[in-house]
Amino acid sequence: MVSTPRVRALPSSWQFAFVGAVVSLPVSTVLNRLPNSEATVGAGIMIFGAFVAGAIAAVRSADPDAAGLRAGFLGGALELLVFMVTSGTTTAWPLSRVAFFALASASVLCLAPVFGLGCGRVGGWVVRSVASRWNSTASTS
């Protein structure tokens, strides 16, 4: 008897986070083109990606906080990856720099989801507010 492999799909909150991250990339690119802008891709995902993830989660009757939290984590992880690639990794780092990078990485990976949680919550609130106003106007007509 041949057993079929079980393929588990990602939970819906992770799916919404990935969709929000991908949707936020053009917005981050446009914002980075503005004069005197220092917007980064990771920050765009933490803010706009989490907002979109929260909005999608609210439309799908899922938890917008969880989707925003995960999008914030993705943004923080991407920002750390970009920093590691663009910083001078060809030279040997002294121990103090390695310790600082480890501490900074840990704090970024702890704080980025908090920003994502807040933006995801705002995205869910906006969608619910607009939907409730739209439904109440449609029902009174």
Indicate whether 139 pLDDT > 70.
Answer: no
Per-residue pLDDT tens digits for 5-21: 666 788 889 999 999 99
pTM for the structure as a whole: 0.82
- pLDDT score for 38: 83
Indicate whether 138 pLDDT > 60.
Answer: no
Residue spans per domain, the chain: 12-140
Q: Which residue has the tokens 């990485």?
A: 105
Per-residue pLDDT tens digits for 57-114: 999 999 999 999 999 999 999 998 888 888 765 566 677 878 888 898 999 899 999 9
Q: Single out the residue of 121, 124, 18 nearest to residue 71, CA to CA.
A: 18
How does DSSP classify residue 10? P
